[in-house]
Structure formats: C-alpha cells, structure tokens
Amino acid sequence: MLSVKEAIAIASTSLDDVYDRPTDVQVEEYAIDSQRKHWLITVSFSVRSSDTQSIASLIPEKKWKTFSIDVNTSEITYMVAGGAGELLR
C-alpha cells in the first residue's frame, strides 16, 4: 500500500509537470477515502502570470489542487481545484 509520504511526492511531481515553476508549494490536507483506495492530497502553491508585460506577473496567484492517488497502483486518478475536506463530505 502506498504511504502518505509517497503519495505526497507523487502529487508534488505531478504539480511540477502541470504548472510552470510553481513556488511556495505546501501540503494543506491529506486523507484516505472511506474505502481506503485513494489518497487525497491537497497542495497549495503560487504561480505568476507568464505575461511579463502585465502587472499581474508581479503578484503571484495562490492556487489549490487536490490529487486523488490510487493506493495500489500509485496512479493519479484525478486532480481538481479545492480541498480534500470538500471531497469527503
């Protein structure tokens, strides 16, 4: 079974693959679903606009993503905006 530390590492690697240079990456929440089949890992991070001519490029935007990771295969089954607590309700 995939440990929570391994699941966090997978989520972090996937985040780097999807977003160009995320900064301030932090684990916000983690949980295992009620059937113990998926880890739900929520991370927050900051990204800057790629438009260097815009003032928006000076102010990083805070984002949150929740990754669902299969405990047996280590595959990401989905990634959504929001927190894991919202998914468990």
Q: How far is residue 48's CA from residue 12's CA, in Å, rounded to a whole number? A: 18
Kindly report the average pLDDT of the chain as a whole number.
Answer: 87
pLDDT score for 2:
95
Give residue limits of the domains in the chain. Answer: 4-88
Mean pLDDT, residues 40-63: 83
Assign domain 4-88 to its CATH architecture.
Roll (3.10)
The answer, yes or no, to whether residue 83 has pLDDT greater than 70, is no
Of 50 and 71, the one with more pLDDT: 71
pLDDT score for 66:
94
* DSSP string for 19-84: SSS-EEEEEEEEEE-TTS-EEEEEEEEEE--S-TTSGGGGSPEEEEEEEEEETTT--EEEEEES-H
Write out pLDDT tens, residues 2-38: 999 999 999 999 998 888 778 899 999 999 998 999 9
pLDDT score for 62:
87
- For the full predicted model, state whether its pTM sits above 0.85: no
Collapsed DSSP state (helix, strand, coil) of residue 12: helix
